[in-house]
Structure 1
Amino acid sequence: MEIDRLLFELDGRFQPVSMLPLMLPGMRRWPRHESTRQWLEANDAFRRDVIARLRAEGPLLAEQIPDTAAVARDSADGWYGPNQVPRMLEALARQGVVAVTARSAGRRRVWDVAERVFPAGMPEYSDEEAERMLAERRLQAAGIAKQNSPWTCVRDAGEPARVEGSKWKWRVDPEALARVDDEVDGRVAFLNPYDGMLMDRPRISEVFEFDYVLEQFKPKSQRRYGYFAHPILMGDRFVGMLDAELDRKNEVLRVNAIHDFLPFEPEEDDMIRAEIDELARWLGVGLVGER
């Protein structure tokens, strides 16, 4: 990310830089909640301190920036500690003022002012243009989406579609529709349980016939696939769940189980295991467990 700048990080997610000009108009309107707006106004001097520190000394870790907040916000969910710097940095990132420029060796975020992180000379769009283009990009990524889904806001992008047995209004990407009869390549992907594709559960169920349940918050005795199991997507089908975890201490990818919804064909099994091998290589660790 920090080398070729093809991606940028926001709210813990990596986005292609081509999305940034479409997102910036909405980022500049943030925040929408009055309580956050009041906190930023009360801490305007703190806000300016953080920006000035980054501009003069950045890139910096959050811990290298003094907490000069006049008003502290409590963290009811325990997500934030008493230090207000991480909260302010995230607020400024959502406004497009600062950005994550790298990750440290310990995977901590390294921050800098946005003009030194984001590419220069990006196109600028009005709010209306940006919203329309964002909706089109979301639909291109989804292929088909509920028109009014809070997870994939596509509005009137694309064309109307009907999903048999569904009560929802759907929109489909014309390019995806044109490829509907093409042979699927069957590529294997392991989805993070928090992947955006999985957020709209009715869509996953009605389009892919996959009833996904995140078992992270279930008692161990009630888990079927594992604490943080990854859905396995093969082409356009969900075929199983991968229960695997990265053991950083021992530098291995530990595969606890590979669950199939229907018995894998030998070729499918080979593809899945090859993808696991590739994941371990990408992570730069060894592989233990099911082979």
Structure 2
Amino acid sequence: MHRLTRDEARRIAVRAQLLDADRPGDVVEVAEQIGAIKIDPTAVIAPSEQSVCWTRIGWAYEPGQLSKAVEVDRLLFEYDGHFRPASLLPALRAIMPSRRLGGATRQYLDANAAFRTEILERLDRDGPLPASEIPDTSAVQAKNESGWYGANQVPRMLELMSYLGDVAISGRVGRQRVWDLPERVYAGTDAAMNPADAEEVLAGRRLQALGIARQKSPWSGVGTAGEEAEVEGSSWRWRVDPEAIAALDDDPGGRAAILNPYDRMLFDRPRLTELFGFTFVLEQFKPKHQRVYGYFAHPILVGDRFVALLDAALDKKKENLVVAAVHELAQIDDDEREMIHAEIRDLGEWLGVPVRGLE
């Protein structure tokens, strides 16, 4: 049983997400450590997959590095809305066929068995292909309660088939995914791992990405990976990465970090509140009159404290990064404020535009 102070627990969490002063060198190093880089088209400042990398690597990161790692070097792959390191492929491929699906989704797949077969035959013959080049021969349409899908069933079916390992994403043209058979996309990957062993591997990698997490949490999925820990002032049962414990004395210090709202550091909201005293609410889907901090405010971490939210956006012509506000949530000194402003100016430089509205 490890007994950690709250400061130690926060340092472990920050370092696990590569948000301390010791920056990683490239996107592969980022993906190997944090396990998954979220893909999302919302680009108020930059798409999440790009800003997640920039937040960690800094000025040395160029957007083309990510697509090269995925499509040319094949060191990363796209699965279930994230870019992931190729080292996770054996474990993920072992569990893909047994992924849990809701009853309605299973019924949809069963009713469209012929449609699924036709997609596989088309990809085998003509792939790789974008969804737009695959005909919709579905017998039944999926319910569209979320409003995310149109009448064409091809994108929906491809996503489900990808989740189950029947098809794979070989690359993108712009933001349009290109699909192919997994044996071509994942060529050379061993998929013979036992599913139970695969689950154990994945739980360990999730804990590596978090550093410390609640043992029984649907947000983290670490199970009994790592070792038991207590955190000062918390009644939760924690699991901690033993390598993170061993590295506690090797502290490179903190820095300012601007986090995309879909950053993995923010995903486990209960942990965020328990460890950091920070309750983050994404206001993107709130009516305008109910927003307090802005449509897509980016949390700002200084050291191991969440101290502010950045409300900023590229203007319509994408010629300026316009700062509407830096909402300070905690007391910060002049040096910390300058660190934040310097990071915002660096963000504008990375985007290739001047920053407007920063005091």
Offset of residue 241 of structure 1:
1.4
**Closer, same or farther: CA 52–248 of 1 in aligned 2, 3 Å:** farther
Partner of 2:307, secondary structure, is: strand
What is aligned with 2:151? 82
Q: Higher mean Cα deviation, 200-209 or 161-170?
A: 161-170
Question: 1:117-266, aligned counterparts within 5 Å?
Answer: 117-122=185-190, 124-247=192-315, 249-250=317-318, 252-262=320-330, 264-266=332-334
User: Is the contact made by 1:258 and 1:290 (CA closer than 8 Å) also made in structure 2?
Assistant: no
Equivalents in 2 of 1:162, 1:247: separation in Å? 47
Offset of residue 75 of structure 1:
0.6
Offset of residue 86 of structure 1:
0.5
Equivalents in 2 of 1:102, 1:280: separation in Å? 28
AA in 1 matched with 2:177: R
**Closer, same or farther: CA 120–281 of 1 in aligned 2, 3 Å:** farther
Q: Higher mean Cα deviation, 93-102 or 263-272?
A: 263-272
What is aligned with 1:49? 118
**Closer, same or farther: CA 151–256 of 1 in aligned 2, 3 Å:** same
Unaligned 5+ residue runs, structure 1?
none
User: Is the contact made by 1:151 and 1:196 (CA closer than 8 Å) also made in structure 2?
Assistant: no
Q: Higher relative contact order by CA 8 Å / sep ≥ 6: 1 or 2?
A: 2
Residue-by-residue CA offset, 1:21-68 (whole Å, 9 max, x unaligned): 222222111243232222212211111111222222222221111000
Question: How many aligned positions are there?
Answer: 289
AA in 2 matched with 1:92: M
Residue-by-residue CA offset, 1:60-83 (whole Å, 9 max, x unaligned): 221111000111112122111111
1:16 and 2:65 correspond: no
Offset of residue 253 of structure 1:
4.0
What is aligned with 1:289? 356
Partner of 2:118, secondary structure, is: helix
% identity of equivalent residues? 55
What is aligned with 2:20? none
TM-score (norm 2): 0.73
Residue-by-residue CA offset, 1:146-182 (whole Å, 9 max, x unaligned): 0011011111111111123333211111111222343
Offset of residue 183 of structure 1:
2.5
TM-score (norm 1): 0.88
Offset of residue 265 of structure 1:
4.4
User: Is the contact made by 1:166 and 1:206 (CA closer than 8 Å) also made in structure 2?
Assistant: yes
Partner of 2:228, secondary structure, is: strand
Unaligned 5+ residue runs, structure 2?
1-69
Equivalents in 2 of 1:114, 1:276: separation in Å? 41
User: Is the contact made by 2:89 and 2:189 (CA closer than 8 Å) also made in structure 1?
Assistant: no
